[in-house]
Structure 1
Amino acid sequence: MLTQDQIDTYNRDGYIAVRGVYTPAEVRELQEVTEEFVQKSAEVSEHTEVFDIDIKAGHSADNPKLRRIKNPHLQHDAYNRAMRNPKLLDIIEQLIGSDIRHHHTKLNNKAPGGGAQVEWHTDWGFYPATNDDILEIGVAIDPMTVENGCLMVMPGSHKGPAYDHHEDGVFVGAVQMSDVDMESAGQILLEEGDISIHHVRALHGSEPNMSANARRLLLMGYSAADAFPIGGYGDWETWQSYMLRGTGTNVPRFNGAPVRIAEPKPADKGSIFEIQEELSKTHFEEVKPT
């Protein structure tokens, strides 16, 4: 459970780290399962419904460069159990209330020696809703360090505007660098089993992994049951099946959070990595490993 100081910090800054949420045994299982998926990704040469691979970084059968496992909770029970972890849901309940809906899962894998950065953005820029009681959990499968591209967040940015993620009229999934004050960025450093929590409207990004080790982060989104996506929720029964705790509703709650729609999108682009490739200039210096 969170202390009142942690809750106050989250509300003030838009992010916190929480230590030791997952046990060593739970982390070990996630590490082993993830390594199995990395090896499976060596069998493909292009993006699939499960894998987003880093083709530009030289992905190959001998040297797999897996960037993302898509919807990992649908790919293996270990991820599904991690998403439903009661200890985690207790923490989330303290921040967005007792009626909790699953929003999404993904596992970002930064390969060593320059694994893909994530440009500065807000999750709200991708999926605005009727209210912003939505948050993202990052489960550290490996330690999150400065060297391997830990998550960075702009404190208080979750109280800001609906940041523009467009360039030349097209959605590129990243803000302009003029919106980012790098000197004030907070770094979320984690050990295995720790979690990061950031608000859906918090500006965040991460640098390339310039260490010699992989950096694997299981990301899981959760929302209040009455936060309805502006872009629609699809099939009602499926939408209701995403409830993890409490009771669903057909009454959206509006809280006046500013919204900007993530359209139009570039053609034939799927993950955030692909979309952000449309950005004319990376937010991070391109450093080559020595």
Structure 2
Amino acid sequence: MTMLTPDQIHAYRRDGYLHLRGLFSPEEAAAYRAEVHAIAEGQGPTDATWESVKDGATRLIHCHDVQFRSAAFTRLLLDPRVTGTAQSIIGPNVQLHHTKMFVKPPEQGSPFPMHQDHPYFPHRDHSLIAMIFHFDDAPEERGCLRVYPGSHALGPLPAVGADHHLAKDRFPLAGATPLPAKAGDMIVFSYLLAHGSGLNRSDEARTTLLVQLRDPADVQLNDRHASRGQGMMLAGVDPTATPFRFAWDAAA
């Protein structure tokens, strides 16, 4: 199954991203939002603020592998609206790389410096895409996603610092195009797209889920950023699969 029209696919190839409005209903978005906040409450305090912007005044609530915390997200990964969109871009075979949830708390939600995802888990064929699911509204004042359209065509760019952000003089956050979103929207983009997000200055949280997907035939060039769910097939088959062995034989 594919989901996108030829015009949408052309826009994605040109700009490096596509904003799909109303992919999920407000009721669905609210239910997923409740799941995210329940995970956050159950796991206790976290802060994933990047080193280059960490000043003690902001916070970013975070969790990896959310499908292992709530079955709602296992079902979401297999939703035809998700897999169909991915197949339109990647091809018939779609494999999970990882999932993450983010909550930017009211009035103190940390920004993300401009960056590419490539430095964290580079792949030979650059098939990786990211999907950001919005579970509440994300206007500019809540720190919405910001992008440099077409920057994916530049290929891998030099990264700066321990958190691998892009040079601020070349890709300032303020100069990026804001992509305000509504609850139920999804934004899909290439892992080569220069993107970031601003500070949440509002009195409401910004709640999102990030899902990274790839073609299973693509090869990761390092062994960083492993996750419990990595390698799960969401659509199609894995053409690289090796002969079957019993788990106890492999252990031996």
Match of 2:234 in 1: 244
Is the aligned partner of 1:141 residue 2:135? yes
Contact 1:149–1:210 (CA under 8 A) maintained in structure 2: yes
Q: Distance in 1 between matches of 2:171 and 2:103?
A: 24
Of 71, 76, 95, which aligns to 1:101? 95
Quickly say closer, same or farther: Cα 1:165–1:76, change in 2 above 3 A: same
Once residues 39 and 233 of structure 1 are traced to their aligned partners in structure 2, the CA distance between those partners, rounded to angstroms, is: 28
**Deviation >6 Å, runs of 4+:** none
Deviation at 1:173, TM superposition (A): 1.9
Aligned to 1:155: 149
1:119 to 96, 113, 118: 113
Asked if 2 retains the 8 angstrom alpha-carbon contact of 1:14 and 1:155, the reply is yes
Question: Aligned partners of 2:94, 2:218: CA distance in 1, in Å?
Answer: 10
Match of 1:62? none
CA deviations 1:188-217 (Å, max 9, x no partner) are 221111100111100000011001100011
Query: 3-state DSSP class of the match of 1:166?
Result: coil
Match of 1:18 in 2: 20
Is this contact kept in 1: 2:16–2:193, CA < 8 A? yes
Contact 2:35 2:72 in 1 (8 A): yes
Asked whether the 8 Å contact 2:148–2:177 carries over to 1, the reply is yes
Q: CA deviation at 1:88?
A: 1.3
| Residue in 2 that maps onto 1:199 | 190
Aligned ranges for residues 83-102 of structure 1 at < 5 Å? 83-102=77-96
Cα distance, 1:38 vs structure 2: 3.0
Aligned mates of 2:112, 2:175 — CA distance in 1: 18
| CA–CA distance in structure 1, aligned partners of residues 200 and 173 of structure 2 | 18
Task: Look up the match of 2:220.
Answer: 229
Cα offsets for 1:216-271 (capped at 9, x unmatched): 11110110111111014999xx865x1111111229xxxxxxxxxxxxxxxxxxxx
Other structure's SS at 2:110 match: coil
Shift of 1:91: 1.1
Distance 1:26 1:228 in 2: 34
Distance 2:236 2:75 in 1: 18
Aligned identity (percent) is 24
Runs of at least 5 residues in structure 2 that lack an aligned partner in the other structure? 242-252
| Corresponding residue pairs, total | 233
Q: How far 1:52 moved relative to its partner?
A: 4.8
Structure-2-length-normalised TM-score:
0.84
Residues 1:179 and 2:170 are matched in the alignment: yes
RMSD: 2.5
Alignment partner for residue 208 of structure 1, among 184, 188, 199?
A: 199
Contact kept, 8 Å, 1:121 with 1:203, in 2: the verdict is yes
